[in-house]
Amino acid sequence: MERQHGVVARWQLLEIGFSANAINHRVANGRLHPVCRGVYAVGRPNLTRKGRWMAAVLSCGPGAVLSHESAAALWEIRPFRRRPTDVSVPAPSLPRRPGIAVHRRKTLAADDVCTRDNIAVTSPLLTLVDLATRIRTAQLEAAINEADKRDLIDPEELRSGLDGMPGRRGVRLLKRALDRRTFRLTDSELERRFLSIVRSAGLPMPDTGRVVNGFKVDFLWPNLELVVETDGLRYHRTPAQQARDRTRDQTHTMSGLTPLRFTHAQIRYEPRCVERTLRAVARRLAEDVGVRSRRPRHLAE
């Protein structure tokens, strides 16, 4: 029973030769402990979280799978919360089970179902689609990040998978959350939008496309010693890309510059936040430059 986390279904016992009387006898003498309809804990009544999930799936019959928030907790892309266990079942089955939230599915294709720790569960892709209808955008973005970090599904694979799921609830919401963070503006569109933010912040226009410290930078304010770089992808950046970014920023910092990064999505969807950040950093840098220019030369050195 270790493979099933300490639980067994009545139909499984019957299948291997136990009679109804034999099962009832083991319940009476405490060798089997009823957990939910048709499912027993073997030997002792206390179950792990995975044991309870397994019991819920077995209780709902053939084709049942862990889904929604419970699946997300099993995949470790959402924190576990004590609540009814979510289980999806194929239509037209819709059993009622205390402590179990049963979801009827018109279809559950082979690609929609996986096993994790021997528990039948919706795939990471379908789990995220289900979550999209139940949690806020920020929480959904966090779940996508966790799925990517755990190598369950990367944003490119996720975006491609959504194209093959037309009509499913949650697809549109998940696409919207995903596209906000993984798209790239064209160079001209990026520059147009960013320079509009610069004007709103009351800053002078930066230089663009300059080579500084051996790197081509996106935007440069020489007088403020400020460099702004823009990243197209928030979710999926390879370790090599991240290492290059760190090296670039560290090189600029060693030379006395202040590097600042925004994503394309921030520039497109969160311009006020970008504007506030730019204004605050520019004000601080202007004060620093003023202090240095007023020092006696022997102190400035």
pLDDT 10s digits, 228-262: 998 866 555 667 777 888 999 999 999 999 999 99
* Contacting residues for 45 by C-beta, under 8 A, at least 6 apart: 33, 35
238-253 per-residue burial string, b: 16 or more CB within 10 A, e: under 16? eeeeeeeeeebbeebe
- Where in the chain are the domains? 48-182, 187-300
- What is the token pair recorded at 119? 């528990």
Tell me if 236 sits within 8 A of 182, measured CB to CB.
yes
Mean pLDDT of 92-118: 87
**Judging by DSSP bridges, how do beta strands 32-36 and 39-42 pair with one another?**
antiparallel
Sign of the Cα pseudo-torsion (240, 241, 246, 249, in order): positive
Residue type, 68: H
**Choice between 178 and 20, residue whose per-residue pLDDT is larger:** 20
pLDDT at 112 > cutoff 80? yes
**Judging by DSSP bridges, how do beta strands 85-90 and 207-208 pair with one another?**
unpaired
pLDDT at 197 > cutoff 90? yes
Mean pLDDT of 206-225: 93
Residue 157: pLDDT band with limits 50, 70, 90: confident
Tell me if 212 sits within 8 A of 227, measured CB to CB.
yes
Residues in the chain: 301
pLDDT at 291 > cutoff 70? no
DSSP state of 94: -
41-53 per-residue burial string, b: 16 or more CB within 10 A, e: under 16? bbeeeebeebbbb
Residue 293: pLDDT band with limits 50, 70, 90: low
pTM for the whole structure: 0.68
Mean pLDDT of 7-33: 93
Tell me the sheet residues that pair with 87. Answer: 66, 102
Mean pLDDT of 163-192: 82
Q: What is the pLDDT of residue 95?
A: 74
Question: What CATH superfamily is the domain 187-300?
Answer: VSR Endonuclease (3.40.960.10)
The percent of residues above 90 in pLDDT, for the chain, comes to: 56
Q: What is the pLDDT of residue 298?
A: 36
